[in-house]
């Protein structure tokens, strides 16, 4: 059954791919809508499969990789990462730093991240020219990829 379904799916996707060349915009929307539905349904069906495979891997190993073989030469790999430590939300690191003094730097790694505020353009306009130029000198405009979604 799976081998036949795979062949049929491959054939269907090849037909859709071939129909893209010269397709009208309305046809592209229709094909995109179909594929959107197909992918979402496939992801929905994958959910319980991935859950069962994760459960099986967790029963066999605590960390690392486990290969699970299926019928017809198929296989999957489940990777269980090592547990990681994170700082609890709301932790008072200022107080802890005062308590640990110089030992704090031995225990924690400092990571500072800056990002432009949403009103940066407005604020920059109010800055003196030399400061505004300094701020603009460290900024780069990044074009985000437009998102496409479908509604059937």
pLDDT band of residue 135 (cuts 50, 70, 90) is very high
- For residues 70 and 10, what is the distance between their CA atoms, to the nearest angstrom? 20
Domain assignments of the chain as residue spans, ordered by start:
2-80
Quote the pLDDT of residue 149: 66
- For residues 40 and 69, what is the distance between their CA atoms, to the nearest angstrom? 25
- For residues 92 and 71, what is the distance between their CA atoms, to the nearest angstrom? 53
Q: pTM of this prediction?
A: 0.69
- For residues 11 and 5, what is the distance between their CA atoms, to the nearest angstrom? 10
Question: Does the pLDDT value for residue 146 go beyond 90?
Answer: no
Helices and strands, counts by H and E, the chain = 6, 2
- For residues 15 and 34, what is the distance between their CA atoms, to the nearest angstrom? 13
């Amino acid at each position: 059954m799976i081998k036949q379904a795979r062949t049929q799916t491959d054939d269907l996707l090849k037909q859709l791919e071939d129909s893209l060349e010269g397709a009208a915009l309305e046809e592209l929307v229709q094909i995109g809508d179909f594929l959107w539905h197909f992918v979402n349904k496939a992801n929905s069906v994958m959910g319980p499969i991935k859950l069962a495979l994760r459960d099986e891997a967790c029963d066999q190993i605590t960390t690392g990789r486990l290969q699970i073989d299926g019928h017809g030469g198929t296989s999957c790999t489940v990777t269980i990462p090592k547990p990681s430590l994170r700082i609890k939300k709301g932790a008072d690191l200022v107080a802890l730093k005062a308590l640990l003094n110089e030992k704090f730097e031995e225990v924690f790694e400092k990571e500072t991240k800056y990002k432009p505020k949403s009103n940066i353009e407005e604020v920059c306009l109010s800055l003196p020219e030399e400061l505004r130029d300094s701020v603009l000198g460290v900024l780069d405009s990044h074009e985000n990829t437009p998102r496409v979604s479908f509604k059937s």
